[in-house]
Structure 1
Amino acid sequence: MSEEFAAGGDSPADAAAEMQAFVDRHGYLSWLGVTVEAVEPGRIVMSVPYEEKLVNPDPDGTPVVHGGIAATLVDTASGFALRTTFEDPAEAALTTTDLNVSYLRPATGDLRAEAEVVRAGGSMGVTEVTVTSERPDDGEEATEVAVGRASYRLFRGETA
Protein backbone atom coordinates (compact mmCIF):
# COMPACT_ATOMS: atom_id res chain seq x y z
CA MET A 1 0.00 0.00 0.00
CA SER A 2 1.28 3.42 -0.91
CA GLU A 3 2.44 5.73 1.87
CA GLU A 4 1.08 8.70 -0.06
CA PHE A 5 -2.64 9.25 -0.51
CA ALA A 6 -3.78 11.52 -3.33
CA ALA A 7 -2.15 14.93 -3.48
CA GLY A 8 -2.84 15.77 0.14
CA GLY A 9 -0.30 13.28 1.48
CA ASP A 10 -2.74 11.74 4.00
CA SER A 11 -1.95 8.17 4.98
CA PRO A 12 -4.22 5.39 3.68
CA ALA A 13 -5.39 4.85 7.28
CA ASP A 14 -6.39 8.52 7.57
CA ALA A 15 -8.18 8.34 4.24
CA ALA A 16 -10.06 5.21 5.30
CA ALA A 17 -11.08 6.87 8.57
CA GLU A 18 -12.33 9.98 6.73
CA MET A 19 -14.32 7.86 4.28
CA GLN A 20 -15.73 5.73 7.10
CA ALA A 21 -16.85 8.91 8.87
CA PHE A 22 -18.74 9.88 5.68
CA VAL A 23 -20.40 6.44 5.58
CA ASP A 24 -21.34 6.73 9.27
CA ARG A 25 -23.09 10.07 8.60
CA HIS A 26 -24.95 8.68 5.57
CA GLY A 27 -28.35 7.27 6.50
CA TYR A 28 -28.61 4.43 3.98
CA LEU A 29 -24.95 3.37 4.02
CA SER A 30 -24.80 3.37 7.82
CA TRP A 31 -28.08 1.39 7.98
CA LEU A 32 -26.49 -1.23 5.70
CA GLY A 33 -23.44 -1.37 7.98
CA VAL A 34 -20.95 -0.48 5.23
CA THR A 35 -17.33 -0.61 6.42
CA VAL A 36 -14.37 0.94 4.60
CA GLU A 37 -11.64 -1.70 4.90
CA ALA A 38 -8.83 -0.32 2.76
CA VAL A 39 -8.07 2.77 0.69
CA GLU A 40 -5.28 3.35 -1.80
CA PRO A 41 -5.05 5.78 -4.69
CA GLY A 42 -7.44 4.38 -7.31
CA ARG A 43 -8.65 1.48 -5.16
CA ILE A 44 -11.00 0.83 -2.25
CA VAL A 45 -12.31 -2.18 -0.38
CA MET A 46 -15.70 -2.00 1.37
CA SER A 47 -17.90 -4.56 3.05
CA VAL A 48 -21.45 -5.13 4.29
CA PRO A 49 -22.12 -7.74 6.99
CA TYR A 50 -24.76 -10.40 6.43
CA GLU A 51 -28.00 -9.53 8.23
CA GLU A 52 -31.41 -11.12 7.88
CA LYS A 53 -32.96 -7.72 7.09
CA LEU A 54 -31.03 -7.80 3.78
CA VAL A 55 -32.26 -11.18 2.46
CA ASN A 56 -34.93 -12.05 -0.07
CA PRO A 57 -37.76 -14.35 0.92
CA ASP A 58 -36.88 -17.70 -0.60
CA PRO A 59 -39.35 -20.58 -0.98
CA ASP A 60 -36.70 -23.27 -0.41
CA GLY A 61 -35.51 -21.63 2.80
CA THR A 62 -32.01 -20.62 1.65
CA PRO A 63 -31.41 -17.01 2.74
CA VAL A 64 -29.97 -15.02 -0.18
CA VAL A 65 -28.84 -11.40 0.13
CA HIS A 66 -30.91 -9.08 -2.07
CA GLY A 67 -29.08 -8.17 -5.29
CA GLY A 68 -29.59 -4.49 -4.63
CA ILE A 69 -27.07 -4.71 -1.80
CA ALA A 70 -24.37 -5.89 -4.22
CA ALA A 71 -25.41 -3.14 -6.66
CA THR A 72 -25.16 -0.56 -3.88
CA LEU A 73 -21.65 -1.79 -3.09
CA VAL A 74 -20.63 -1.54 -6.77
CA ASP A 75 -21.92 2.03 -6.99
CA THR A 76 -20.62 3.18 -3.61
CA ALA A 77 -17.18 1.57 -3.90
CA SER A 78 -16.83 3.04 -7.40
CA GLY A 79 -17.55 6.55 -6.21
CA PHE A 80 -15.20 6.24 -3.26
CA ALA A 81 -12.40 4.82 -5.44
CA LEU A 82 -12.81 7.74 -7.83
CA ARG A 83 -12.70 10.20 -4.93
CA THR A 84 -9.11 9.10 -4.34
CA THR A 85 -8.17 10.63 -7.70
CA PHE A 86 -9.12 14.13 -6.52
CA GLU A 87 -6.72 16.49 -4.79
CA ASP A 88 -9.10 16.59 -1.81
CA PRO A 89 -11.12 13.33 -1.74
CA ALA A 90 -13.38 14.61 1.05
CA GLU A 91 -14.50 17.54 -1.09
CA ALA A 92 -14.79 15.65 -4.40
CA ALA A 93 -17.91 16.23 -6.46
CA LEU A 94 -19.06 13.40 -8.73
CA THR A 95 -22.20 11.61 -9.85
CA THR A 96 -23.01 8.20 -11.32
CA THR A 97 -23.79 8.25 -15.04
CA ASP A 98 -23.91 4.50 -15.72
CA LEU A 99 -23.98 1.40 -13.55
CA ASN A 100 -23.81 -2.20 -14.72
CA VAL A 101 -23.95 -5.21 -12.41
CA SER A 102 -23.74 -8.85 -13.50
CA TYR A 103 -24.78 -11.38 -10.88
CA LEU A 104 -22.78 -14.60 -10.92
CA ARG A 105 -24.29 -16.60 -8.04
CA PRO A 106 -26.37 -16.02 -4.90
CA ALA A 107 -24.77 -14.18 -2.00
CA THR A 108 -25.29 -16.02 1.27
CA GLY A 109 -22.91 -14.26 3.67
CA ASP A 110 -20.98 -11.05 4.27
CA LEU A 111 -20.32 -9.05 1.10
CA ARG A 112 -16.98 -7.47 0.18
CA ALA A 113 -16.38 -5.15 -2.79
CA GLU A 114 -13.03 -4.29 -4.34
CA ALA A 115 -13.18 -1.32 -6.72
CA GLU A 116 -10.37 -0.29 -9.05
CA VAL A 117 -10.27 2.88 -11.12
CA VAL A 118 -9.88 2.02 -14.80
CA ARG A 119 -9.62 5.66 -15.85
CA ALA A 120 -10.13 8.98 -14.14
CA GLY A 121 -9.97 11.83 -16.61
CA GLY A 122 -10.84 15.48 -16.31
CA SER A 123 -14.59 14.94 -16.45
CA MET A 124 -15.28 11.18 -16.62
CA GLY A 125 -14.21 8.23 -14.53
CA VAL A 126 -14.68 4.47 -14.98
CA THR A 127 -14.27 1.71 -12.41
CA GLU A 128 -14.46 -2.06 -12.27
CA VAL A 129 -15.69 -3.83 -9.14
CA THR A 130 -15.73 -7.41 -7.88
CA VAL A 131 -18.14 -8.39 -5.11
CA THR A 132 -17.46 -11.54 -3.11
CA SER A 133 -19.49 -13.29 -0.44
CA GLU A 134 -18.49 -15.62 2.34
CA ARG A 135 -20.05 -19.05 2.25
CA PRO A 136 -20.54 -19.91 5.92
CA ASP A 137 -22.67 -23.00 5.28
CA ASP A 138 -20.09 -25.03 3.42
CA GLY A 139 -16.85 -23.70 4.92
CA GLU A 140 -15.64 -22.51 1.52
CA GLU A 141 -13.65 -19.34 1.04
CA ALA A 142 -15.37 -16.24 -0.28
CA THR A 143 -16.55 -16.52 -3.85
CA GLU A 144 -17.40 -13.97 -6.54
CA VAL A 145 -21.11 -13.18 -6.54
CA ALA A 146 -21.18 -10.11 -8.80
CA VAL A 147 -19.01 -7.98 -11.02
CA GLY A 148 -19.73 -4.44 -12.08
CA ARG A 149 -18.60 -1.41 -13.96
CA ALA A 150 -19.56 2.17 -13.26
CA SER A 151 -19.08 5.47 -15.04
CA TYR A 152 -19.10 8.76 -13.21
CA ARG A 153 -19.14 12.42 -14.17
CA LEU A 154 -16.26 14.05 -12.29
CA PHE A 155 -16.55 17.72 -11.37
CA ARG A 156 -12.95 18.82 -10.99
CA GLY A 157 -12.80 22.44 -9.83
CA GLU A 158 -16.55 22.89 -10.19
CA THR A 159 -19.67 21.89 -8.29
CA ALA A 160 -22.05 19.12 -9.25
Structure 2
Amino acid sequence: MDVIERFNDRYPFGQHLGIEITDAEDGVARGKIELDDHHSLSESTRLAHGAVPFALADSLSAAALASVEGNPGPTLDVRIDYLRPATGDVHGEAVVDRYGSETGVVEAELHDDDGNTIAKTRGVYKTNMVDGKNPFVDSD
Protein backbone atom coordinates (compact mmCIF):
# COMPACT_ATOMS: atom_id res chain seq x y z
CA MET A 1 0.00 0.00 0.00
CA ASP A 2 1.16 3.50 -0.81
CA VAL A 3 2.48 5.43 2.22
CA ILE A 4 0.37 8.52 1.51
CA GLU A 5 -2.77 6.39 1.08
CA ARG A 6 -2.06 4.53 4.34
CA PHE A 7 -1.72 7.75 6.31
CA ASN A 8 -4.43 9.83 4.63
CA ASP A 9 -7.08 7.12 4.13
CA ARG A 10 -6.43 4.43 6.78
CA TYR A 11 -5.22 6.39 9.83
CA PRO A 12 -8.27 7.24 11.99
CA PHE A 13 -6.35 9.35 14.50
CA GLY A 14 -4.76 11.40 11.73
CA GLN A 15 -8.11 11.84 10.03
CA HIS A 16 -9.63 12.98 13.32
CA LEU A 17 -6.97 15.67 13.71
CA GLY A 18 -6.93 16.61 10.02
CA ILE A 19 -3.37 15.49 9.33
CA GLU A 20 -2.58 15.42 5.62
CA ILE A 21 0.58 13.76 4.32
CA THR A 22 1.48 15.44 1.01
CA ASP A 23 4.80 13.73 0.17
CA ALA A 24 6.54 10.61 1.42
CA GLU A 25 9.50 9.09 -0.39
CA ASP A 26 13.13 8.18 0.14
CA GLY A 27 13.05 8.85 3.89
CA VAL A 28 11.40 12.28 3.70
CA ALA A 29 7.77 13.13 4.47
CA ARG A 30 5.90 16.42 4.32
CA GLY A 31 2.42 17.34 5.48
CA LYS A 32 0.19 19.73 7.35
CA ILE A 33 -2.70 20.31 9.71
CA GLU A 34 -5.16 23.09 8.98
CA LEU A 35 -5.84 24.56 12.41
CA ASP A 36 -9.50 24.48 13.41
CA ASP A 37 -11.46 25.37 16.54
CA HIS A 38 -11.29 21.81 17.90
CA HIS A 39 -7.47 22.04 17.98
CA SER A 40 -7.54 25.05 20.31
CA LEU A 41 -6.21 25.15 23.84
CA SER A 42 -9.17 27.29 24.97
CA GLU A 43 -12.50 28.60 23.70
CA SER A 44 -11.35 32.22 23.76
CA THR A 45 -8.29 31.94 21.51
CA ARG A 46 -7.14 30.09 18.41
CA LEU A 47 -4.01 28.58 19.86
CA ALA A 48 -3.23 24.93 19.17
CA HIS A 49 -2.85 22.54 22.07
CA GLY A 50 0.75 21.23 22.14
CA ALA A 51 -0.46 17.76 21.19
CA VAL A 52 -1.46 19.06 17.74
CA PRO A 53 2.03 19.91 16.45
CA PHE A 54 3.40 16.86 18.26
CA ALA A 55 0.91 14.59 16.47
CA LEU A 56 1.87 16.07 13.09
CA ALA A 57 5.60 15.65 13.76
CA ASP A 58 5.15 12.08 15.03
CA SER A 59 2.95 11.15 12.05
CA LEU A 60 5.35 12.69 9.56
CA SER A 61 8.23 10.83 11.20
CA ALA A 62 6.39 7.51 10.91
CA ALA A 63 5.56 8.29 7.27
CA ALA A 64 9.20 9.12 6.53
CA LEU A 65 10.25 5.72 7.95
CA ALA A 66 7.44 3.98 6.07
CA SER A 67 8.76 5.53 2.85
CA VAL A 68 11.97 3.56 3.47
CA GLU A 69 10.54 0.19 4.55
CA GLY A 70 6.91 0.30 3.44
CA ASN A 71 5.29 0.30 6.88
CA PRO A 72 5.31 2.66 9.84
CA GLY A 73 6.93 1.45 13.04
CA PRO A 74 5.86 2.37 16.55
CA THR A 75 7.27 5.38 18.34
CA LEU A 76 9.82 4.48 21.02
CA ASP A 77 10.90 7.95 22.15
CA VAL A 78 10.47 11.54 20.95
CA ARG A 79 11.87 14.82 22.18
CA ILE A 80 10.00 17.95 21.11
CA ASP A 81 11.15 21.54 21.49
CA TYR A 82 8.31 24.05 21.15
CA LEU A 83 9.70 27.31 19.81
CA ARG A 84 6.55 29.38 19.27
CA PRO A 85 2.81 28.87 19.54
CA ALA A 86 0.81 27.45 16.65
CA THR A 87 -1.95 29.95 15.89
CA GLY A 88 -2.64 28.93 12.30
CA ASP A 89 -2.00 26.05 9.92
CA VAL A 90 1.02 23.90 10.78
CA HIS A 91 3.31 22.54 8.04
CA GLY A 92 6.12 20.09 8.55
CA GLU A 93 8.87 17.94 7.15
CA ALA A 94 10.44 14.82 8.64
CA VAL A 95 13.74 13.33 7.50
CA VAL A 96 15.15 9.91 8.42
CA ASP A 97 18.54 10.59 9.98
CA ARG A 98 19.45 6.95 10.60
CA TYR A 99 17.77 3.74 9.51
CA GLY A 100 18.91 0.55 11.23
CA SER A 101 17.77 -3.06 11.45
CA GLU A 102 16.03 -2.47 14.81
CA THR A 103 15.46 1.28 15.12
CA GLY A 104 15.45 4.46 13.10
CA VAL A 105 16.03 8.08 14.07
CA VAL A 106 13.94 10.82 12.48
CA GLU A 107 14.11 14.60 12.81
CA ALA A 108 11.10 16.79 12.06
CA GLU A 109 10.62 20.53 11.83
CA LEU A 110 7.27 22.33 11.89
CA HIS A 111 6.47 25.81 10.54
CA ASP A 112 3.57 28.24 10.35
CA ASP A 113 2.26 29.81 7.13
CA ASP A 114 4.94 32.53 7.35
CA GLY A 115 7.78 30.01 7.59
CA ASN A 116 8.44 30.60 11.29
CA THR A 117 9.63 27.48 13.11
CA ILE A 118 7.03 26.25 15.59
CA ALA A 119 8.71 23.09 16.86
CA LYS A 120 11.48 20.57 16.24
CA THR A 121 11.49 16.89 17.15
CA ARG A 122 13.95 14.04 17.20
CA GLY A 123 12.44 10.60 17.60
CA VAL A 124 13.41 6.96 17.74
CA TYR A 125 11.13 4.43 16.02
CA LYS A 126 11.04 0.64 15.74
CA THR A 127 11.95 -0.48 12.21
CA ASN A 128 12.06 -4.25 12.01
CA MET A 129 9.27 -6.59 11.05
CA VAL A 130 8.22 -9.54 13.23
CA ASP A 131 7.86 -12.82 11.30
CA GLY A 132 7.44 -10.87 8.08
CA LYS A 133 4.66 -8.66 9.49
CA ASN A 134 4.41 -5.31 11.15
CA PRO A 135 2.27 -6.07 14.22
CA PHE A 136 1.29 -2.41 14.52
CA VAL A 137 -0.45 -2.25 11.13
CA ASP A 138 -1.09 -5.88 10.12
CA SER A 139 -3.90 -7.73 11.84
CA ASP A 140 -4.33 -11.48 12.04
For each residue in 1:92-115, what CA deviation from the matched residue of structure 2 results, as whole angstroms up to 9, or x when unmatched?
252111011110011111011100
2:119 is aligned with 1:146: yes
Bigger radius of gyration, 1 or 2? 1
CA distance, structure 2, for counterparts of residue 30 and residue 129 of structure 1: 20
Partner of 2:23: 38
Aligned residue pairs, count: 133
Gaps of 5+ in 1: 1-13, 135-140
Query: Is contact 1:93-1:156 (8 Å) kept?
Result: no
Q: 1:127 is paired with a residue of what secondary structure?
A: strand
Q: Which among 25, 30, 36 is matched to residue 10 of structure 2? A: 25
Mapping for residues 1-160 of structure 1, pairs under 5 Å: 15=2, 18-57=3-42, 61-86=44-69, 89=70, 92=71, 94-134=73-113, 141-156=114-129, 158=131, 159=133, 160=135
CA distance, structure 2, for counterparts of residue 65 and residue 76 of structure 1: 17
TM-score (ref. length: structure 2): 0.85
Percent identity between matched residues is 27
For each residue in 1:61-115, what CA deviation from the matched residue of structure 2 results, as whole angstroms up to 9, or x when unmatched?
54211110111111111111011111xx1xx252111011110011111011100
Q: 2:35 is paired with a residue of what secondary structure?
A: coil
CA distance, structure 2, for counterparts of residue 119 and residue 82 of structure 1: 10
Gaps of 5+ in 2: 136-140
The one-letter code of the counterpart of 2:103 is M
TM-score (ref. length: structure 1): 0.75
**Following superposition, which runs of at least 4 residues in structure 1 exceed 6 angstroms of deviation?**
none
For each residue in 1:15-37, what CA deviation from the matched residue of structure 2 results, as whole angstroms up to 9, or x when unmatched?
4xx52344322222111111111
Distance change (3 Å), C-alpha of 1:25 and 1:109: same
Partner of 1:6: none
Query: Is contact 2:25-2:68 (8 Å) kept?
Result: no
